[in-house]
Amino acid sequence: MNLIAKGGGRCVSILRWTARIISSLVILYTLFMLIASALFDPTPADAGIGVFVGFAAPTMLALVLSWRWERLCGWIALIGSIGMGVTVFFTSGHNELLAGILIPSPFYVSAILFILSGMGGHSSDTS
């Protein structure tokens, strides 16, 4: 990742703040959708929702912790978002591949941005 290191602090700072903004929006939107679904959806929750929440909760926690430990928690969030994609792939009714790629894509993007910002320059990461 010499390109990031050569870009100096400004490039790393832009990556870091972009990752933070995207992750904040993703977390707020996901929480809003999960709470709204729990409160207002008349159909009972199935096992797919439980497994999705099982992957979404640790992934969102990893994104929050990525504000402090960018590289380590970025990798954890990336693994969790891949798990979400696999879960969505197997539980969606139609267009499984498209749903499995697009639904967790904001998680992918923010996790990758945290990993990149953790690799370049000043980071509080110990990994």
pLDDT at 125: 46
The share of the chain scoring above pLDDT 70, in percent, equals 84
Residue 126 confidence (pLDDT) above 50: no
Residue 118 confidence (pLDDT) above 50: yes
Retrieve residue 108's tokens. Answer: 């992918």
Long-range contacts formed by 94-99: CB under 8 A, 24+ apart: none
23-27, 42-46, 57-61, 122-126, range with the lowest pLDDT: 122-126
Indicate whether this model's pTM tops 0.85: no
Residue 1 confidence (pLDDT) above 50: no
What HEC string does the chain produce? CHHHHHCHHHHHHHHHHHHHHHHHHHHHHHHHHHHHHHHHCCCCCCHHHHHHHHHHHHHHHHHHHCCCCHHHHHHHHHHHHHHHHHHHHHHCCCCHHHHHHHCCHHHHHHHHHHHHHHHCCCCCCCC
Annotated domain spans of the chain: 12-119
Give the span between the Cα atoms of 1 and 60, in whole angstroms.
Answer: 26
27-36, 44-53, 54-63, 87-96, range with the lowest pLDDT: 44-53
pLDDT at 121: 58
Q: What is the pLDDT of residues 54-72, one digit of tens each?
A: 888 899 999 999 999 999 9
Q: What is the pLDDT of residues 5-32, one digit of tens each?
A: 555 678 888 888 999 999 999 999 988 9
